[in-house]
Structure 1
């Protein structure tokens, strides 16, 4: 039930919280201010009544006391004996009963207070005991008391002060709530624009971007991050579309050829050799299976979460793999000490085998593999002495199903996915693979980040 009453808007929530907190804070401030003003007014009246009463006491003479002549707002003044009889009084207090029964304590001759009656309302009073010396001279030691006061000001008696303070508290809290509503609304305005633009973005059109507000606050950073995410998403979707188009095109040809062969065998059973048809169909299905397996490997590398990396000595890895290649063009290796990276050993072996197979296929006499290191990268170079790759084709060969004419001639059954898989693996290892200039043949260069010195020592301890 309470959750339904809670505002759903962030703007409304902030405004409500700000209004409640402001109301509490201003209420505390208003209460303190009200008490301070109320006390200040009373203190001023008490000081004035005390001064008026003291002045009258100082002017008393032996005999019948004369009524005081008042020139201040303190208009109530009475001289009362210890029997409660009014001996003398000001004009406003004449003919009245004693203003108060309040008597100063024995240890203090002055008392302040407020006296309220149903008939006269409330009076702010000061009661002063006449000093013993004056009492002895004037009344033979009989105690007398002077009462000085005035009607309680309307600001105190009618609760006008409390009403004004309450109105000020409410006005201040309302102003704080409105300011919060305005400030939060202005701050969230870019969020509303981002939300509206995001609602317009669909899978069919990922080219739109959300508006980026100026500045470097959290909302601006969110907008920039969202646009970067949209750019990556657009690139991924476009890559997926191109990949699907290429895959469908590459699979259509062998499937169409297989369909044609089987259809001819059914339509012309006497003219078609069934064994030849089956052999050709089996070869076609093997090619389809190879393409599908490579596609699965490529998709798994791009989408599956990476396996836990392990420290790999590239020099030892290359030496072991080259030693297993006893057939084909000779492969020479050159390594420079221990070069350790973090990675997936099986995937890196697959990349190395793919490059060695390509190099041996196109080499004339030899293949050379070297491992070196720079300040922060391990560098693997695979070079052959074959015809090489033209500069304008050096990026194309890493695209799926791209096969140059020389490659089709040397390996008609290839899928055209080997280099695409190799680049995907190296990219997943935060490295690069490129084809660089070479005096003769093709020169593939792989760069992988080295393990930092501290991590390298820890890795050597774990593997030892």
Structure 2
């Protein structure tokens, strides 16, 4: 079974990354420092042995054997002939075999060598070839060599320097990993608090909020965004609850009426007019069907993505829907040329139809429909000459199941969802539906984004609107 090396937590992953990076960095630095220390130390020892060897070679006397040591601490000095026989040596080196078998040539009189024994450590040796003139005078031309040696410092023996460096690297890596663990843990502490509080939040109680840390870093922004999302979610759930309550209330009346008619028919079959009872039951079921259909439409508008938009000639659509309206009260259209919007035809037809039906229901003598442009928006207004809507009720009428007294009187069978559906459709098309001030009656204003046209097409449309420019 494969072993999972990747830590589960962000804190663990960041700590692992920091530890690996620190190990590589400190390892490279440690290796470089250890190599530099070893090289500098050996260079210093070789300078001492070279000075000691050259000084003694210059003071050689065949009649006397030098018995003094060099002031640098080099105590191992030997004079060796070409047959590896020790001819002279200091007190510390007289009982030792030749310190080295290194034989510098005449072209290069000085050579350095590190000689290591298995159990006695390493010796840094400098070999100096006695000048030819001295060899001819003193030893009949036989080559002689002076060896000067000094033991390697304890720090450099048995890889102590490398081991010490490795220990320091591991210690520094451990300290870095610990610091990374602490810093990341402290940074993520607010995240843990947010997670714990989020786990306590449920649909039954959305009033809780996650703690917001001070500052304006990413975690603080996350906490604020989470609280804003929770607030919107709480508002949406509350709206759904209110909507469910309103649906229950609206469905209760026709269901109760249907139940009463059927119950009466069962209890008093001889006294009940069967035809009238069935007609009343049918009317109740028709109202139920209308309410349920409107509820389904509104639910789909809120929860599903609208169908693909298509270019729609707003003026042609208004003419068609106005022609389908009853002739009393009459509908007058005032249309501006070339107004095209991108929308779902079925949805836009529903909006225009609902607005026209609503306007005819409340109009005294006429309904006026106007289309125009305002910047990059198409504007459709539907005005009636009825009693109008009070300013304090102009937003409330777009809520689900809200029906003013005048509306209940004129259409007692309405569901109260028509305007809510219209506004939902407008919002889904990135538009608005509002009620503006009017000298008389109600003025509904629908604004939708115009279809984006290419510059050449826009120029052609401008020429069509301006005959004088076309003549030029």
TM-score of the aligned structures, taking structure 1 as reference length: 0.93
Give 1:403 deviation, angstroms: 1.2
- The alignment status of 1:194 with 2:194, answered yes or no, reads yes
**Per-residue deviation, residues 388-436 of structure 1 (Å, max 9, x unmatched):** 0111211121111111121122112211110011111111112211111
**Per-residue deviation, residues 166-217 of structure 1 (Å, max 9, x unmatched):** 1110011101111210121122112101101101111011122222334444
Name the CA distance, whole Å, in 1 between partners of 2:132 and 2:305.
102
The residue number in structure 2 matching 1:58 is: 58
Name the CA distance, whole Å, in 2 between partners of 1:111 and 1:103.
8
- The alignment status of 1:321 with 2:321, answered yes or no, reads yes
Question: Do the aligned partners of residues 119 and 225 (structure 1) sit closer, same or farther apart at CA in structure 2, a change above 3 Å counting?
Answer: closer
CA RMSD of aligned residues (A): 2.2
Give 1:455 deviation, angstroms: 10
The residue number in structure 1 matching 2:267 is: 267
Name the CA distance, whole Å, in 2 between partners of 1:150 and 1:451.
95
**Per-residue deviation, residues 84-143 of structure 1 (Å, max 9, x unmatched):** 122222232123221122222454222211112356432111111112232223323211
Name the CA distance, whole Å, in 2 between partners of 1:455 and 1:59.
105
- Secondary structure in structure 2 of the residue aligned to 1:159: helix
- Secondary structure in structure 2 of the residue aligned to 1:403: coil
The residue number in structure 2 matching 1:171 is: 171
* Counterparts of residues 43-442 of structure 1 (less than 5 Å): 43-61=43-61, 63-105=63-105, 107-118=107-118, 120-325=120-325, 327-442=327-442
Name the CA distance, whole Å, in 2 between partners of 1:147 and 1:96.
12
Structure 1 window deviating more from structure 2 (143-152 vs 311-320): it is 311-320
8 A Cα contact 1:62 1:137, kept in partner: no
The residue number in structure 2 matching 1:8 is: 8
Give 1:225 deviation, angstroms: 2.7
Question: Do the aligned partners of residues 342 and 215 (structure 1) sit closer, same or farther apart at CA in structure 2, a change above 3 Å counting?
Answer: farther
Structure 1 window deviating more from structure 2 (402-411 vs 334-343): it is 334-343
**Per-residue deviation, residues 131-170 of structure 1 (Å, max 9, x unmatched):** 2232223323211111111111101114321221011100
Q: Kindly report structure 1 stretches of 4+ aligned residues shifted beyond 4 Å.
A: 3-6, 452-458
Name the CA distance, whole Å, in 1 between partners of 2:123 and 2:31.
23
Structure 1 window deviating more from structure 2 (283-292 vs 67-76): it is 67-76
Name the CA distance, whole Å, in 1 between partners of 2:154 and 2:69.
25
8 A Cα contact 1:340 1:456, kept in partner: no
Name the CA distance, whole Å, in 2 between partners of 1:240 and 1:3.
49
Give 1:24 deviation, angstroms: 3.2
- The alignment status of 1:40 with 2:32, answered yes or no, reads no
Structure 1 window deviating more from structure 2 (394-403 vs 278-287): it is 394-403
Aligned residues between the structures: 459
Question: Do the aligned partners of residues 451 and 108 (structure 1) sit closer, same or farther apart at CA in structure 2, a change above 3 Å counting?
Answer: farther
**Per-residue deviation, residues 427-446 of structure 1 (Å, max 9, x unmatched):** 11122111111100001111
**Per-residue deviation, residues 268-287 of structure 1 (Å, max 9, x unmatched):** 12221111111111111111
8 A Cα contact 2:65 2:89, kept in partner: no
- Secondary structure in structure 2 of the residue aligned to 1:87: strand
Question: Do the aligned partners of residues 222 and 42 (structure 1) sit closer, same or farther apart at CA in structure 2, a change above 3 Å counting?
Answer: same
- Secondary structure in structure 1 of the residue aligned to 2:241: helix
Give 1:451 deviation, angstroms: 3.8
Question: Do the aligned partners of residues 281 and 399 (structure 1) sit closer, same or farther apart at CA in structure 2, a change above 3 Å counting?
Answer: same
Name the CA distance, whole Å, in 2 between partners of 1:324 and 1:195.
58
Structure 1 window deviating more from structure 2 (115-124 vs 383-392): it is 115-124
Question: Do the aligned partners of residues 271 and 324 (structure 1) sit closer, same or farther apart at CA in structure 2, a change above 3 Å counting?
Answer: closer
8 A Cα contact 2:378 2:449, kept in partner: yes
Question: Do the aligned partners of residues 301 and 121 (structure 1) sit closer, same or farther apart at CA in structure 2, a change above 3 Å counting?
Answer: closer
Give 1:456 deviation, angstroms: 11
Give 1:232 deviation, angstroms: 2.1
Give 1:56 deviation, angstroms: 1.9
Question: Do the aligned partners of residues 69 and 357 (structure 1) sit closer, same or farther apart at CA in structure 2, a change above 3 Å counting?
Answer: same
Runs of 5+ unmatched residues, structure 2: 461-472
Question: Do the aligned partners of residues 337 and 211 (structure 1) sit closer, same or farther apart at CA in structure 2, a change above 3 Å counting?
Answer: farther
8 A Cα contact 1:341 1:378, kept in partner: yes
Name the CA distance, whole Å, in 2 between partners of 1:319 and 1:135.
128
TM-score of the aligned structures, taking structure 2 as reference length: 0.91
Name the CA distance, whole Å, in 2 between partners of 1:182 and 1:196.
20
Name the CA distance, whole Å, in 1 between partners of 2:353 and 2:118.
110
